[in-house]
Amino acid sequence: MRVVVTGGGTGGHIYPALAFVRYLKEIQPDTQVLYIGSKRGLEGKIVPQANIPFEAIEIQGFKRSLSLENLKTVKLFLQSIRKAKRLLRDFQPDVVIGTGGYVSGSVVYAAAKMNIPTLVHEQNSVPGVTNKFLSRYANVVATSFHGVEKYFPKAKVVYTGNPRAQEVAEIEQSDILSNYGLKLHTPTAVVFGGSQGALKINQAMLEALPLFKEKDYQVLYASGVRYFEKYEKEFIKAQKEMENVRVFPYINEMPEVLASATLLVGRSGATSLAEMTALGLPAILIPSPYVTNDHQTKNAQTLVEVGAAELVADVDLTGELLVKKMDEILLNRKHLSEMSAASLKEGVPDASVRLLHLVEEITRGK
């Protein structure tokens, strides 16, 4: 099979795509894959590091206000479609899979116009503009949340879950927490605000640090590089005074760490929630207020409604409130167990299997 994957701009579009590619190569080792991304997106760094052939096209998003830049956007979109068609003609894929971001708009649209089977994967509970547009042309739309089908042509929608979930579900508990100076077999909260960190979460954690002293649980915090540098003295001081708190700029082995954790505290991006539910982790979710259509709040609410998570609005977050919520979950075994079960029930450990079945269905008649 020859597969083109496209999507980018943020890790939420890239990591599910890579997870599916890895599964596909494992099941069908002779599969040929080409990833088409944008010149400016994170995919330009992440995909080549995964040893996947990569081609870039230039594209940008529309400004929300009237701007001459939007004329450039239209010009780039038309040019990107022409380049996408050239790449597709050269590679001759059996299927094109788009995971979101402006770049997938050009590539999936071009493929549809060339009568190449196409699949769009939507990770969030509220779809982005690109996937809404592409749903009119794609053969099928795969979703990661129930309820999102109302935004797409009903006959095209199939619920698959997020491929990242299957990849993480296969990770077993280990002694990895000892690598971070923490004890094994002790309830552990992992706190992070995304790869760059989050100001409000850092401010709350600075207030919370003294309150963790003598708690019957431990805390591993990834602050983000820029915030670690800014608050390094405070973080070092807290770690000297407390054995149950460890702070790092970034956690490279996050899936492995989460597999050995007890509670997740952080933003509610689609990839994080896929990982969380695959592992049956309860969570305290603090949606980012800076994302399109407030989709992180809607992502979080789907898990709050089933009892798998607690939601704290970014504007309401304080150190005292954060510790109170952590105590309520980590110090109450019954509540913790119930939330864990609810989280695991929402997980989709066979998401890549489902996605591959869809790919095989739409390419069968090619």
d(CA 263, CA 191): 8
124 is in an annotated binding site: yes
CB atoms within 10 A of CB 134: 26
Looking at the predicted structure, is the pLDDT value of residue 296 above 70? yes
Report which DSSP code applies to 158. E
195 is in an annotated binding site: yes
* Mean pLDDT across the chain: 93
DSSP H/E element including 259:
helix 254-259
Q: Which residues contact 224 (CB under 8 A, 6 or more apart)?
A: 192, 193, 194, 195, 196, 197, 198, 202, 249, 250
Angle at alpha carbon of residue 204, lines to 198 and 205, rounded to 5°: 85
Q: Could you tell me which of 80, 116, 64 has the C-alpha nearest to residue 292?
A: 64
Looking at the predicted structure, is the pLDDT value of residue 75 above 80? no
Looking at the predicted structure, is the pLDDT value of residue 65 above 60? no
10 is in an annotated binding site: yes
Q: What is the mean pLDDT of residues 335-341?
A: 98
11 is in an annotated binding site: yes
Residue ranges of domains in the chain: 2-162+349-364, 169-346
Q: Residue type at 125?
A: S
pTM above 0.85, yes or no: yes
Q: Residue type at 36?
A: I
Is CATH 3.40.50.1220 the classification given to domain 2-162+349-364? no
283 backbone dihedrals φ, ψ, rounded to 5°: -150, 155
Q: Which residues contact 52 (CB under 8 A, 6 or more apart)?
A: 18, 21, 33, 35
pLDDT tens digit sequence for 106-125: 999 999 999 999 999 999 99
Looking at the predicted structure, is the pLDDT value of residue 130 above 70? yes
Q: Could you tell me which of 106, 140, 95 has the C-alpha nearest to residue 122?
A: 140
70 is in an annotated binding site: no
Q: 169-346 sits in which CATH class?
A: alpha beta
pLDDT tens digit sequence for 260-282: 999 999 999 999 999 999 999 99
Same fold: 2-162+349-364 with 169-346: yes
296 is in an annotated binding site: yes
pLDDT at 18: 96
